[in-house]
């Protein structure tokens, strides 16, 4: 008995078959995610998950947060051109971090154009993935930024900026690296707000194997600042300068002693607040002085669950005005890093902040951070 569906099915099958034949005859479109393909494109990133406490009164006792969630794209465009873009999805930082083009003319002379880290402060230049303590400065809820890194960052001697940098490396019996940077001189991701620019020069020598000594100089010129946060008359000009020396020693990649140290002297040109802004000082500028030393010792382990254990200790001294008594602060951090593998570590810190002034109480915070890098 003939099915009643056969007369209907035959034309449907013939219609579908004809569509498939036509589709096979037409050229298939090419979907190219990267229209201008790089020779090599590397996607990477890292994330930091934190738990922290605070001893400051009227503050939340403890909190979880995503401290960093960064994604990087490194593109090799030719044998002498490369570039990087880094973004951060964490709410505690700006979205755009790095965005630059690198012209690799020669190992002795390269040009970096875009937004990048200023080459002044070693502990800022080092990636957060290799920094021994969790934070570079003081980060306790309810307590101001008082460590050396904090003071330099507020004055725009550190962190990222937009400009051009000339850099290179000379191989010899004593390897030498250099960087000469010219940038806007303000915060990252911002247009310039005055006619001046910031110049930073850095030289790093390696007198011994695994030991680097760096020397840095910064001059930030402010000329005709037209905004309230830096109330210079348009006809005036001022220069803020900073000098630094730093040391880096790494006994071995997987085990041994690791030391990071920085000592800096700088013009602290931001005066007391008037309203919601800081007065820009052009006369009798205070001299800022400080140093930080981070030291850790990495022990290699041989088990399934953990690759290394690294006890560490940090000491930071920061004096915002050398001519004023009782205004310095101390940051002491004992801690330990547990490496589940090279790219995953659990970090435990206990920050203690004390002050020369008896009017300020000692504050502290426990901090835990889980980090993974890919």
Q: What is the pLDDT of residues 4-25, one digit of tens each?
A: 545 545 554 555 555 444 444 4
Q: Is the dihedral of CA 122, 123, 127, 133 positive or negative?
A: positive
CB 347 within 8 A of CB 134: yes
Contact 201, 216 (CB under 8 A): yes
State pLDDT tens for residues 178-222. Answer: 999 999 998 888 888 778 899 999 999 999 989 999 999 999 998
pLDDT score of 131: 93
Determine the pLDDT at residue 366.
98
Helices (H) and strands (E) in the chain, counts: 3, 18
Which pLDDT score, from 0 to 100, does residue 38 have?
A: 67
The H or E element spanning position 360 is none
What is d(CA 324, CA 285) in angstroms, rounded to the nearest whole number?
12
The confidence score (pLDDT) of residue 228 equals 44
Q: Which helix (H) or strand (E) holds 167?
A: strand 160-170
Q: State both tokens at 334.
A: 């004992």
Q: What is the pLDDT of residue 36?
A: 60
| Mean pLDDT over the full length of the chain | 87
Residues of the chain with pLDDT below 50 are: 1-3, 5, 8, 12, 19-33, 226-229
CA distance 87 to 99: 9
CB atoms within 10 A of CB 229: 13
HEC readout, the chain: CCCCCHHHHHHHHHHHHHHHHHHHHCCCCCCCCCCCCCCEEEEEEEEEEEEEECCCCCCCCEEEEEEEEEEEEEEECCCCEEEEEEEECCCCCCCEEEEEEEEEEECCEEEEEEEEECCCCHHHHCCCCCCCCCCCCCCCCCCCCCCHHHHHHHCCCCCEEEEEEEEEEECCCCCEEEEEEEECCCCCCCCCCCCCCEEEEEEEEEEECCEEEEEEEEEEEEECCCCCCCCCCCCCEEEEEEEEEEEEEECCCCCEEEEEEEEEEEECCEEEEECCEEEECCCCCCEEEEEEEEEEEEEECCCCCCCEEEEEEEEEEEECCCCCCCCCEEEEEEEEEEEEECCEEEEEEEEEEEECCCCCCCEEEEEEEEEEEC
Distance, in Å, from the CA atom of 136 to the CA atom of 318, rounded to the nearest integer, reads 13
pLDDT at 94 (0 to 100): 82
């Amino acid at each position: 008995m003939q099915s009643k569906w056969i007369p209907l099915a035959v034309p449907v099958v013939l219609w579908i078959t004809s569509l498939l034949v036509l589709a096979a005859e037409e050229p298939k479109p090419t979907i190219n995610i990267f229209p201008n393909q790089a020779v090599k494109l590397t996607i990477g990133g890292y994330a930091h998950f934190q738990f922290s406490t605070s001893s400051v009164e009227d503050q939340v006792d403890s909190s979880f947060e995503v401290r960093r969630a960064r994604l990087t794209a490194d593109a090799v465009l030719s044998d002498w051109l490369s570039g990087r873009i880094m973004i951060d999805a964490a709410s505690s930082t700006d979205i755009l971090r790095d965005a630059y083009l690198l012209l690799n003319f020669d190992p002795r002379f390269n040009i970096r154009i875009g937004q990048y880290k200023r080459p002044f402060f070693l502990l800022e230049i080092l990636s957060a993935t290799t920094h021994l303590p969790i934070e570079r400065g003081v980060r306790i809820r309810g307590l101001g930024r008082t460590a050396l890194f904090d003071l330099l960052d507020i004055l725009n001697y550190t962190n990222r900026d937009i400009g051009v940098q000339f850099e290179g490396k000379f191989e010899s019996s004593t390897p030498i690296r250099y960087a000469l940077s010219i940038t806007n001189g303000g915060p990252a991701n911002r247009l310039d707000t005055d006619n001046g620019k910031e110049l930073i020069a850095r030289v790093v020598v390696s007198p011994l194997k695994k030991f680097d000594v760096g020397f840095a100089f910064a001059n930030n010129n402010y000329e005709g600042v037209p905004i309230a946060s830096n109330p210079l008359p348009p006809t005036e000009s001022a220069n803020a300068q900073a000098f630094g020396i730093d040391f880096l020693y790494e006994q071995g990649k997987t085990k041994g002693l690791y030391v990071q140290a920085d000592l800096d002297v700088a013009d602290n040109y931001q005066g007391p607040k008037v309203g919601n802004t800081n007065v820009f000082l052009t006369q009798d500028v205070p001299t800022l002085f400080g140093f930080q030393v981070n030291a850790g010792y990495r022990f290699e382990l041989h088990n399934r669950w953990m690759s290394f254990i690294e006890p560490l200790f940090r000491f930071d001294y920061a004096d915002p005005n050398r001519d004023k008594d009782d205004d310095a602060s101390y940051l002491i951090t004992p801690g330990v890093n547990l490496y589940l593998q090279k790219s995953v570590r659990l970090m435990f810190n206990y920050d203690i902040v004390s002050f020369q002034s008896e009017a300020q109480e000692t504050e502290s915070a426990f901090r835990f951070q889980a980090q993974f890098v890919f």
